[in-house]
Amino acid sequence: MRRIRLSSPAKLNLFLKVLNKRPDGFHNISTVFERIDLSDEILLKLNPSGDIRIDCVHPQVPGGPKNLVYQAAKLLRDDFRIKEGVDIYIKKNIPVAAGLGGGSGNAATVLKGLNELWKFRLSRPQLLSYARRLGSDVAFFLYDCPWALGTERGDFIQRLDIKTKLWHVLVVPCVKIYSGEVYGGLGLAPAPEAPRKMLTKRNDNASIFIHHLRRSDVAQIGRGLVNDLERVVLLLSPQLEKLEQRLKSLDTKGVMVSGSGPCVFAVVETQQQAKDIQRILSGRYSRVFVAKTL
């Protein structure tokens, strides 16, 4: 086999608590990941040149070593002394740098695809060691599951046996927000219940939220959305607060920033409601998506 075509889905963080800062400069978190059906398409083709070549028409996707996809392929090629190269074609449907994990998912997809093409037969734990070297969100995408709990940097994954399927509206404004800047602002943004303290107690966990997910209680799920990064995101981009208020006015069950943003998503009751909201907002925003749990 010389080529393989794969789908690379996006994610939402429905629950994200920042627990503390780690000695390595990252943060320990507790987060509930949801895999959604907004997906990129990736084609991997082996080539005899030995080069790793990335082909993507999206202007914000780097074509060289700065791309996580390139880094994933290089790690495997170098560690196993593979002389072949690979052409990586990426069709981007997931907005770039939006808090939806598009780049991380692409990297995980390349790890899985090259594991098959180059016949390494690496186990998931072995692939996870590569995923953690690439980024905190990459590990989740190695699991074929709709729901998972992420701890430590978000890269230790526990599958959640949850059958619930949710419908969402996603709005991605044309705003640049850098995750490093968001995490860096955690100690500066005031929290309503404890001014100048953003980090939550170590024993905070997602168990109550997961309970509502298991019960498919859409109203409670919407009320229980948590993102400790949101306060910083809204300080950096105050216009997102107006977007949140607009979504809340449309009878949604819950509205929140995903990850470090700028994507703002809503939990809704039905596909039809999601499509109706998409139609209403499409005149104002160019990137409005309807998505469901995958």
User: What pLDDT is recorded for position 201?
Assistant: 43
Confidence of residue 253 (pLDDT cuts 50, 70, 90): very high
- Range 207-211, long-range pairs (CB < 8 A, 24+ positions): 209/14, 209/15, 209/32, 210/32, 210/149, 210/160, 210/162
**82-105 confidence digits (pLDDT tens):** 999 999 999 999 999 999 999 999
- pTM value > 0.75: yes
CATH architecture of 167-292: 2-Layer Sandwich (3.30)
Q: What is the mean pLDDT of the chain?
A: 92
pLDDT confidence of residue 199 = 43
Give me the residue spans of the domains in the chain. 3-159, 167-292
Same fold? 3-159, 167-292: no
Question: pLDDT tier at 178 (50, 70, 90 boundaries)?
Answer: confident
Domain 3-159 belongs to what architecture? 2-Layer Sandwich (3.30)
The owner of tokens 């507790």 is 30
234 has pLDDT over 60: yes
Across 187-201, average pLDDT: 46
Task: Note whether 110 and 42 are within 8 A (CB).
Answer: yes
**Which residues are known catalytic residues?**
11, 137
Mean pLDDT of 35-57: 97
In this predicted structure, the answer to whether residue 198 has a pLDDT above a threshold of 80 is: no
Determine the pLDDT at residue 21.
86
pLDDT single digits (tens) 116-165:
999 999 999 999 999 999 999 999 999 989 999 999 999 999 999 999 99
Quote the CA–CA distance of 178 and 260 in Å, as a whole number.
Answer: 7
pLDDT at 236 over 70: yes
C-alpha span between 269 and 187 (Å, rounded): 36
